[in-house]
Amino acid sequence: MIEKDLKQSAVFPVGEKIENDYFVGDAYLSMLTTQSNPIGNVTFAPNARNNWHVHEGGQILLVTGGEGYYQEEGKVAQRLKAGDVIEIAAGIKHWHGAASDSWFVHLAIVRDPSKGETNWLEPVSESQYQEANQSK
């Protein structure tokens, strides 16, 4: 899907480009609420993904568009599409991002923000990312 089509079909605002060292490629964030359980709409361009990271309070991902991947450390990556729900337990090292050939959009819900900020770790290696893209 091209960027113009993505913005026209998006359920929630695409938001601002994420400018930090925790993402590889272009990704965008629109915070829908920052109250008790923050919810962000995260949009990944093809090939974009976040670094390995841990949420001390857990996280829920609700996929709203495109195709992407979710992977926990030591497990095979899961291919995701619109309608998929991922419940990430507290303390689990993981990453998520777009497939190499698709935009990917999800809502990210922080389960228990009182347990602390996201612990950002090393980038997903190119070989790890390519291996994920082989699992369709």
6: confidence class by pLDDT, cuts 50, 70, 90: low
What pLDDT score was predicted for residue 37?
85
Question: Which amino acid, one-letter code, is at 102?
Answer: S
- Global pTM reads 0.90
- Give per-residue burial for 33-65: e unless 16+ CB within 10 Å, then b: eeeeeebbbbbbbbbbbbbbbbbebbbbbbbbb
- What is the 3-state secondary structure of 40-66? EEEEECCCCEECCEEECCCEEEEEEEE
2: confidence class by pLDDT, cuts 50, 70, 90: very low
Report the pLDDT averaged over residues 58-70: 96
What pLDDT score was predicted for residue 9?
60
* Arithmetic mean of pLDDT over the chain: 91
- Give Cβ neighbours of residue 53 (< 8 Å, ≥ 6 apart): 22, 93, 94, 95, 118, 119, 120, 121
Burial (Cβ within 10 Å: 0-12, 13-18, ≥19) of residue 20 = exposed
Domains of the chain: 3-134 (2.60.120.10)
- As a whole number of angstroms, the distance between CA 35 and CA 17 comes to 22
What pLDDT score was predicted for residue 92?
98
